[in-house]
């Protein structure tokens, strides 16, 4: 099962990791090779009821970080301002000026 790291806007965010069923993973991360998603985009795409179902299953499957073997995706909550860094929703294509040769 894929592991999903959850990052939220809380000051005390622990960056928890949850495992999800393959079907739920593909609902959250809808595009091929996508490994970044924002909760508002996910809810907007599948609807509040379906998102609540997926989250309900996911929240029950927290993984101890010391036992994690790989993270398949990152799900952001309350952090829409980070979208500009992930225009393709692929971590490998993250847009950071100083990593892309621009010092601005």
Q: What is the pLDDT of residue 99?
A: 59
- Classify residue 48: in a domain, yes or no: yes
Higher pLDDT, 85 or 18: 18
- Classify residue 78: in a domain, yes or no: yes
- Classify residue 99: in a domain, yes or no: no
- Classify residue 104: in a domain, yes or no: no
- Classify residue 100: in a domain, yes or no: no
Q: What is the pLDDT of residue 97?
A: 59
pLDDT band at 11 (very low <50, low <70, confident <90, very high): confident
Does residue 17 register a pLDDT over 70?
yes
- Residue 42, Cβ neighbours under 10 Å: how many? 21
- Classify residue 101: in a domain, yes or no: no
- Classify residue 18: in a domain, yes or no: yes
- What's the CA gap between 19 and 17, in Å, rounded? 7
Quote the domain boundaries for residue 61.
3-93
Looking at the structure of the chain, the number of domains it has is 1
- Classify residue 102: in a domain, yes or no: no
If phi > 0 it is left, if psi is from -120 to 50 it is alpha, else beta; for residue 53 that is: alpha
Q: What is the 8-class DSSP label of residue 91?
A: G
pLDDT, one tens digit per residue, over 58-93 is 999 999 999 998 999 999 998 887 887 887 788 777
């Amino acid at each position: 099962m894929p592991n999903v790291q959850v990052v939220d806007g809380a000051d005390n965010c622990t960056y928890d990791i949850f495992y999800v069923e393959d079907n739920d993973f593909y609902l959250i991360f809808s595009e091929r090779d996508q490994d970044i998603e924002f909760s508002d985009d996910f809810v907007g795409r599948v609807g509040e009821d379906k998102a609540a179902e997926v989250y309900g299953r996911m929240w029950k499957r927290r993984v101890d970080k010391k036992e994690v073997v790989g993270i398949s995706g990152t799900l952001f909550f309350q952090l829409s301002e980070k979208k500009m860094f992930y225009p393709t929703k692929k971590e490998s294509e993250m847009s950071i000026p100083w990593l892309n040769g621009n010092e601005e």
